[in-house]
């Protein structure tokens, strides 16, 4: 439709003319004299615009894909959770920290909670708040010694291993260290199955005879906590 705008209706007649009278050369008609040249120039203009488009696409794609091109290691940094003696031995507590990477307009969303378990002495476990199933916030129940997820009922034992429900692995754990008096964790990125994938095959429901079940429970394996270190 657009090409028909600049060309007058008589153009249609001239284009059929050469077919009807092949003896009539194009050059005799002033309207078609420069036709092939203009077609060439139009194609050239398409080419130029294609090149400009390709040049423009580089910064646009770079801008768009920027967040996913960052190396994830650069987003984690050591965060101080406070003096480690503030955590009673044998207890699991909720601790909030300010994410190391935030924007000024992040507001409350930049505050991230995590579960700190002081097993004994200098032995700690720091779990992400996000359920390994779909990222909902798990809650610690001290009496039944379970983490429960409100979304789909994923349950984890005190050491973060999977107890039951839809999660295919245990809770995500942050790397931690004790520096001086303080407990530090390496965090900054929302943990997901993509960043903290577990090498072990997913644990399905324990099935089979009671003896097999008993054997599975009597030999507790440190699931996933080993493959993250």
Q: Does 2 bind other proteins (CB under 8 A)?
A: no
Q: Does 59 bind other proteins (CB under 8 A)?
A: no
For residue 35, the minimal CB distance to other proteins (Å) is: 30
Nearer to other proteins, 22 or 67 (CB): 67
Whole-Å CA distances, 85 to 51, 97, 118, 124, 167 = 63, 17, 9, 11, 32
Nearer to other proteins, 42 or 141 (CB): 141
Q: Does 67 bind other proteins (CB under 8 A)?
A: yes
CA dihedral defined by 161, 164, 166, 169, rounded to 10 degrees? 20
For residue 146, the minimal CB distance to other proteins (Å) is: 6
String marking each residue 114-153 x if it binds other proteins according to CB under 8 A: ---------------xx--xxxxxxx-x-xxxx-x-xxxx
Please identify which residue in 99, 186, 225, 228 interacts with other proteins, judged by CB under 8 A. Answer: 99
Please identify which residue in 105, 209, 219, 229 interacts with other proteins, judged by CB under 8 A. Answer: 105
Nearer to other proteins, 111 or 181 (CB): 111
Nearer to other proteins, 87 or 115 (CB): 115
The residues with which 178 forms a beta bridge, in sequence order, are 183
DSSP the chain: -GGGTTS-THHHHHHHHHHH-TTS-GGGSHHHHTHHHHHHHHHHHHHHHHHHHHHHHHHHHHHHHHHHHS-GGGG-EEEEEEEGGGSPTT-EEEEEEE-SS--TT-GGGGEEEEEEEEEETTEEEEEESB-TTT-PBPEEETTTTEEE-TTT--EEETTS-EEESS-SS---EEEEEEETTEEEEEE-S---TTTS--SSPPP----S-HHHHHHHHHS---TTTTTT-
Cα 94 to the chain's mean position, in Å?
25
Please identify which residue in 12, 48, 85, 106 interacts with other proteins, judged by CB under 8 A. Answer: 106
Please identify which residue in 48, 51, 214, 227 interacts with other proteins, judged by CB under 8 A. Answer: 214
For residue 221, the minimal CB distance to other proteins (Å) is: 14
* Contact positions with other proteins (CB under 8 A) in 169-198: 188-190, 192-195
**Site residues (vs other proteins, CB under 8 A):** 64-65, 67-70, 72, 75, 94, 96, 99, 101-103, 105-113, 129-130, 133-139, 141, 143-146, 148, 150-153, 155, 157-158, 163-168, 188-190, 192-195, 202-206, 210, 213-214, 217
């Amino acid at each position: 439709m657009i090409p028909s705008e600049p060309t007058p209706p008589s153009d249609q007649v001239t284009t059929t003319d050469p077919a009807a009278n092949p003896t009539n050369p194009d050059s005799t008609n002033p309207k078609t004299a420069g036709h092939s040249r203009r077609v060439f120039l139009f194609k050239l203009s398409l080419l130029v615009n294609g090149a400009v488009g390709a040049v423009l696409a580089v910064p646009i794609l770079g801008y768009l894909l920027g967040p996913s091109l960052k190396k994830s290691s650069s987003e984690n940094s050591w965060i101080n959770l406070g003096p480690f003696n503030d955590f009673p031995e044998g207890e699991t507590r909720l601790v909030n920290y300010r994410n190391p990477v935030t924007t000024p307009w992040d507001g409350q969303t930049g505050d991230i909670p995590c579960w700190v378990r002081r097993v004994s002495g200098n032995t700690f476990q720091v779990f992400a708040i996000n359920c390994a199933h779909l990222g909902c916030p798990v809650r610690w129940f001290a009496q039944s010694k379970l983490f429960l997820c409100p979304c789909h009922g994923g349950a984890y034992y005190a050491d973060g291993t999977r107890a039951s429900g839809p999660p295919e692995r245990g809770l995500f754990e942050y790397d931690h260290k004790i520096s001086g008096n303080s407990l530090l964790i390496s965090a900054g990125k929302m943990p997901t199955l993509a960043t903290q994938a577990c090498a072990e095959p997913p644990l399905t429901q324990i099935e089979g005879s009671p003896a097999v079940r008993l054997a599975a429970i009597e030999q507790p394996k440190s699931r996933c906590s080993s493959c993250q270190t």
